[in-house]
Structure 1
């Protein structure tokens, strides 16, 4: 017995809206050619079927979202904000965990132009941090959880590589809240966090977490000759006390490579 294919006219209208209003592409044929430049070939007929509400694979939906910079959750299911791009917050391979540990990565985000660095909806606490808005999105047969992107900062690639010593493709921007790192980092400052530098290689400032609470910005100093290895977690605010923990208990999200400040 043959089953009738499901028609989702509302989804088809959203795909047509993305093509004609967001990407400003007048014909389905042009849209098919554009999609074919970024993956497997797509025909004009396939685009026509999608826009009438016929089945469309998640890979093609993801490709459309990547080109148009719209939220996959909105395009596929009409949930969330069409303008909310995301940064993936954990590895899909870890989905056996009911509540996976929150981490940070950038594999599901691309900027509008070269040198764009995303500022995520999360704040590094110089005191107490904030995780911010997290969006659940389908990817293939799995799902990922991602931090919404609040803004893009355009920084020269050569500055990031040569001056900040940061990876342009792995760096994010986060806002600082609290005053425990004053006067070095003040509330409202934005810092560049290089997610590729997630191990302690030198005594400097990192974005850290204990795996249970919100992310923090702190200065780390290794304790010489300690076994197991220990680090001193330092607040630049002289009114606050430093404390020591075993390095293995600390989750390093990335190294702080720069600061954007009104000063």
Structure 2
């Protein structure tokens, strides 16, 4: 029992030191006023639990993921929480294929876009998740059986059909690597209005140009924002920009940003 406690507290300290943060700096990055709020997580005599809570793991991840050498990953942090906490965290992007379901299965696995099959070739799925131009929504995550396992993913609520030539020549996206998402909120007005749909190219999940992307911090609901690289920053930093002029621009290290995909199409009522 003592070994487990020491392991958790020692690994917490190792992650902090690997991130290059003092205890006070980490506390601030996690949203606390001073180091006294988190110092017990490095002391096995003060912290007697076997695992970090999901809330602490989330705050720690937001503070250290992407820092250090090698860069700290979400898995590094969430391994300090209960195993079931990691496996049940909602996936931001996924879908399902009801035609592939069976009545067997025990283990829940991550489920991605390529598992879904359209009713007509070339269709793009709209998933039950919304891109926040303000506050997004993760939508309904469901579990379905698939052959000898079960899988978790977002429910597909609609199929959108486009001419293949249009997708290839104009939108420049492959239908088997794209999803449709609804926009909610007003932070991207007047460019993107509530109720608009966007085509998200999941293959373009790195920053290749200054444009609009579907993004997340890896934990919160997905957002639609304009991303601009800041020249000569090391590590690379980006500006996260809302098109609504009433809202402020803020800066973050690129390594701490999860890019879900590039916005390559816009479906709006005029």
Length-normalised TM-score, structure 1: 0.62
Distance 1:191 1:232 in 2: 21
Distance 2:170 2:231 in 1: 29
How big is the shift at 1:76? Answer: 1.7
Q: Is the 8 A contact 2:100 2:147 kept in 1?
A: no
Distance 1:138 1:153 in 2: 25
Q: 1:261 aligns with which of 240, 243, 268?
A: 268
Does residue 206 in structure 1 map to residue 213 in structure 2?
yes
- Which residue in the other structure is 1:224 paired with? 231
Structure possessing the higher radius of gyration over alpha carbons: 1
- Which residue in the other structure is 1:60 paired with? none
Say which is worse superposed, 129-138 or 209-218, in terms of deviation. Answer: 129-138
How big is the shift at 1:136? Answer: 1.3
Q: 1:133 aligns with which of 140, 150, 174?
A: 140
Q: 2:130 aligns with which of 119, 123, 130?
A: 123
Distance 1:239 1:150 in 2: 33
CA distances 1:107-146 after superposition (whole Å, capped 9, x unpaired): 1111111221100000000001001111112345543211
Mapping of residues 32-111 of structure 1, within 5 Å: 69-70=98-99, 72=101, 76=103, 92=109, 105-111=112-118
* CA gap 1:158/1:105 in 2 versus in 1, 3 angstroms: farther
Q: Is the 8 A contact 1:105 1:195 kept in 2?
A: no
- Which residue in the other structure is 1:145 paired with? 152
Specify the SS of the correspondent of 2:103: helix
Unaligned 5+ runs, structure 1: 1-64, 78-90, 95-103
Length-normalised TM-score, structure 2: 0.60
Unaligned 5+ runs, structure 2: 1-95
How big is the shift at 1:212? Answer: 1.3
Distance 2:238 2:145 in 1: 39
Say which is worse superposed, 205-214 or 156-165, in terms of deviation. Answer: 156-165
How big is the shift at 1:157? Answer: 1.4
- Which residue in the other structure is 2:47 paired with? none
Number of residue equivalences:
172
Distance 1:196 1:227 in 2: 26
- Which residue in the other structure is 2:222 paired with? 215
Distance 1:147 1:257 in 2: 21
- Which residue in the other structure is 1:45 paired with? none
Does residue 236 in structure 1 map to residue 248 in structure 2?
no
Runs of 4+ with deviation above 3 angstroms: 138-143
How big is the shift at 1:161? Answer: 1.6
